[in-house]
Structure 1
Amino acid sequence: MTETTQAVVIGGGYAGVMAANRLAGRKDVAVTLVNPRPGFVERIRLHQHAGGGYDAFRDYRDVLAPGVRTVVGTVERIDAAECRLTLAGGAAVDYDRLVYAVGSGSAAPDVPGAAEYALPLASLEEAQRLRTALQDAPESAPVTVVGAGPTGIEAATELAEQGRRVTLVCGKVMGPYLHRRGRRTVARRMAELGVTVLQGPGATVVEVAADAVRLDDGREVPSRVTVWTAGFAVPDLAARSGLSTDEDGRLLTDETLTSVDDERIVAAGDSAAPSGMPLRMSCQAALPLGARAADTVLGRIDGERPAPLNQAFAGQCISLGRQGGIFQFSRRHDVAVGLHIRGRLGATVKEKVCLGTVRHMADEARAPGSYRLHKISGGPERARRLRAVQAMEAPSGTASAPAAARP
């Protein structure tokens, strides 16, 4: 009789769902997904959820393979020696193989008053609280968005398009990933929507009050609702469980996404740090990483050597309200180039990307193994960077083998 492998996935976001669906295609693998919520959250839609025009919560029946068992709960500890998870409340889940896909959330702000008065936007619950705060505030009330990565830009433009009076406080620069040409496009759209953009010297928030945001050059920005998007962090589950992590708490793995401590554990998504060089936090990375993690698990079950990571990127897409957007093209190794799509066409591309992420998961749920984008080569740049890092770390006169080649 064929032995059944118990595969458990911690985290039901983009990476976790993709991994669970792919594993579910094997009859000799029983898959359990452990997640704090009973459904899937379209995290890339949270700014729309907060603005009141979209419900970012989906039933798992829309995206998860029917053979996947779901357990609603929060994992408190991983006991790698016993292959057991302890959940809040004391319940336990045993595993033979584990996929660590706990994702990321808002970083705890260290700015005085931010924890008390600012509203983050990285989870469904946070988006719902922000939505309520906006509904309680007059439309003319000033709104300040702190942080100018994709989440901050999308939140600012979404609310400004609704007629809100929005200030975007960027710190050093707006859209740090974008090419300078793409950044100019975003700036023009901000101007069209009436968003006040504060960036450069003096535009760093040093205090948040109930009705204002104070900057390091002494300026005070009136703010009835303050949205905090400055930074993300990963849960500390791996560190609490005694597993090796990078300095930000991501699970440290080799290039096959296998934990450096235990080959029965693989990681995917925002919480993975392959060779200490994590990929950019994005659903664009999460889906392929989830598929790659599942392939690693299946390869190890079959006694095969898993393929190393070789992630390809296409760029970054950002909605600029419902009527505008930008798709910033990049090199395969995730460096932005001058080419981008903007305006209504940019908004159309962004919407297709949002729909496409859900479709990829649903397609994999119906036909496990059909997803192939993780097999597109990212080119030689990551291997070159790895060699450079290993050369710096290796003692003089020794050579360090590539991470994917280590036993």
Structure 2
Amino acid sequence: MPEHSSTPKNRVVVIGGGYAGAVAANRLRKRADVDIAVVNPRPTFVDRVRLHQFVAGTGTAEAGYGTLLGEGVRLVVDSATRIDPAAHTVKLASGRVLDYDYVVYAVGSTGAVPSVPGAAEFAFSVAEFEPARRLRDRLNALPADAPITVVGGGLTGVETAAELAGRGRVVTLVCGTTLVPTFSAPGRRSVARWLARHGVAVLEGGGVTEVRPDAVVLDDGAVRPSALTVWTAGFGVPGLARASGLRTDELGRLLTDETLTSVDDDRIVAAGDAAAPSGRPLRMCSYAAGPLGARAGDTVLSRIAGTEPAVIDLAFSGACVSLGRHSGVRQLARKDDTAVNVYVGGRAGAAIKELTCRFGVGKIRREARRPGSLFWPKGGPRPVPSRVTTR
């Protein structure tokens, strides 16, 4: 049977306890008449920006929710399997059903399911905690000189390759097209120089066409030994929105308006990587997740109060990549997230990256202590496309 609250509070179910969901839940505490439940499949918070450290054995990637969720926020350790907008219920994998007045859809992102033959069977992912743990166990079972292939030249691939190389591993990084394509040319050269100095073989302009248990096949037909293959090319999202009959973009992100409200139901508000406002989602990253979580929480509070919700207004400033534990690159960017030819590298870049990682969890804790305290750079352009593709 659905669980009913004994008080006439506004019941909000936050689906997902990551960066966006945790901020949204804490933000909702600005009102005393809101009953908040966070549905999360794990009892601990996963600091995803540190999963490459967790894999390499250079850091941890979990934190307790005790200091992350404010007083009165209930953590429900379970997985949502379906949202029923007509009945205003969320069905959980355990069979429980939660009633809601509003849902914050913050399910986050996952690693993309590769279509390359053998990749699903033999490649490992670093995108989520459980796959990362399997990857770490496999890595620890390998000899120190075993050849490792990291597929994907984006930030996750570079950080994973660099962390492993910093531990003395033999690493090949297959970029597909260009190394860190979102960086400026000077920023890319800085990353390439560090990788070269630390023995990482970087293959640009080609991809992997097959993954075998002990090798990868490149698109030129070359076969390279690979005792361990890590797949970091692309991201996906959980299929909950689509399974619930809600409109999504082609990837499966919930389609919303500029207030992050579902185009199908104004009681469902999205946040983080799984939101597609106007069919033009922001870059998947912890930087955007916090502000999106705060904005989603504010949208729900506005609807409870009967006022008009504000629209997204987030300006980007760049991105960071760690290169082992002692170096990094902070790439600067315009408000629209396009890179400029300015970066900070070396130890200074590593320090900025570490501060950025700490801020990801720190802003959740601050919001738990003082709901409504999170602020972010505003003024980012939000051009709305003339055509939105949905599924």
* TM-score category, normalised to shorter length: over 0.9
Residue 146 (1) aligns with residue 151 (2)? yes
Show the counterpart of 1:238. 241
| Structure 2 partner of 1:268 | 271
1:101 equivalent to 2:106? Answer yes
Q: 2-side partners of 1:76 and 1:272: how far apart?
A: 18
SS of structure 2 residue aligned to 1:24: helix
1:205-264 deviation line (CA, Å, top 9, x unaligned): 000011111101011111111111011100110000000111111000000000001101
1:160 equivalenced with 2:165 (yes/no): yes
Q: Which runs of 5+ in 1 are unaligned?
A: 394-407
User: Are 2:117 and 1:112 equivalent residues in the alignment?
Assistant: yes
Distance of 1:63 and 1:325 partners within structure 2? 28
Q: Distance in 2 between matches of 1:32 and 1:264?
A: 15
SS of structure 1 residue aligned to 2:367 = helix
Q: Is the 8 A contact 1:333 1:378 kept in 2?
A: no
- 1:278-321 deviations in whole A, cap 9, x for unaligned? 00000011000000000000011000001111111111001011
| CA deviation map 1:14-58 (0-9, x unaligned) | 000000011123211111000000110000000000001212111
Counterpart check, 1:198 vs 2:209: no
Matched with 2:313 is 310
CA deviation after TM superposition for structure 1 residue 62, in Å: 2.6
Letter of the structure 2 residue corresponding to residue 274 of structure 1? P
Q: Quote how far apart the aligned CAs of 1:155 are.
A: 0.2
Unaligned runs of 5+ in 2: 1-6
**Which residue pairs with 1:321 in the alignment?**
324
14, 21, 29: which one pairs with 2:19?
Answer: 14
Cα distance in 1, alignment partners of residues 165 and 82 from structure 2 = 42
Taking the aligned partners of 2:68 and 2:341, their CA distance within structure 1 comes to 35
Distance in 2 of aligned mates of 1:350 and 1:311 = 20
Name 1:41's counterpart in structure 2.
46
C-alpha distance in 2 between matches for 1:358 and 1:66: 17
Residues 104 and 235 of structure 1 are in contact (CA less than 8 Å); yes or no, is this contact kept in structure 2? yes
Between the aligned partners of 1:297 and 1:106, the Cα distance in structure 2 is 29
| 2:258 counterpart (251, 255, 259) | 255
Separation in 1, partners of 2:67, 2:338: 34
Hey, what does 2:3 align to over in structure 1?
A: none
Deviations 1:362-401 (A, max 9, x none): 000011111111xx3234x32xx22xx33x68xxxxxxxx
Preserved contact between residue 171 and residue 199 of structure 1 (Cα < 8 Å): yes
SS class of match (2:36): strand
Partner of 2:175, secondary structure, is: strand
- Structure-2-length-normalised TM-score: 0.96
Corresponding residue to 2:296 among 268, 271, 293? 293
Pairing 1:157-236 to 2, within 5 Å after superposition: 157-200=162-205, 203-236=206-239
Indicate yes or no: 2:137 matched with 1:136.
no
Q: Percent identity between the aligned chains?
A: 56
Corresponding residue number in structure 1 for 2:97: 92
Of 322, 332, 335, the match for 1:332:
335
Between the aligned partners of 1:232 and 1:41, the Cα distance in structure 2 is 17
Output the CA distance in 2 between the equivalents of 1:25 and 1:69: 16
Supply the distance in 1 between the matched residues of 2:372 and 2:378 (Cα, whole angstroms): 18
Shift of residue 188 of structure 1?
A: 0.4
Question: Over aligned residues, Cα RMSD in angstroms?
Answer: 1.1
User: Which among 279, 282, 285 is matched to residue 282 of structure 1?
Assistant: 285
> C-alpha separation between the residues in 2 aligned to 1:83 and 1:356?
35
Query: What SS is found at the alignment partner of 1:184?
Result: helix
Distance 2:320 2:210 in 1: 31
Q: Given residue 217 of structure 1, which amino acid in structure 2 is its aligned partner?
A: D
The answer to whether the Cα contact below 8 Å between 1:42 and 1:58 also exists between their aligned partners in 2 is yes
Give 1:180 deviation, angstroms: 1.0
Q: Indicate the SS of the match to 1:86.
A: strand
SS in 2 for 1:155: helix
Match of 1:377 in 2: 378
Secondary structure at 1:171's aligned position in 2? coil
**Partner letter of residue 191 of structure 1?**
A
The whole-number CA distance in structure 2 between the counterparts of 1:82 and 1:125 is: 33
Do the aligned partners of 1:182 and 1:326 also contact (CA within 8 Å) in 2? yes
Q: Which amino acid letter does the alignment assign opposite residue 266 of structure 1?
A: V
Name the aligned partner's letter for residue 181 of structure 1: P
Q: Take 1:176 and 1:62, find their aligned partners in 2: how far apart are those partners?
A: 37
Q: For 1:181, what is the secondary structure of its paired residue?
A: helix
Please state how far the C-alpha of 1:126 moved relative to its aligned partner.
Answer: 1.1
Determine if the alignment matches structure 1 residue 71 to structure 2 residue 72.
Answer: no
Aligned-pair CA distance for 1:107: 1.1
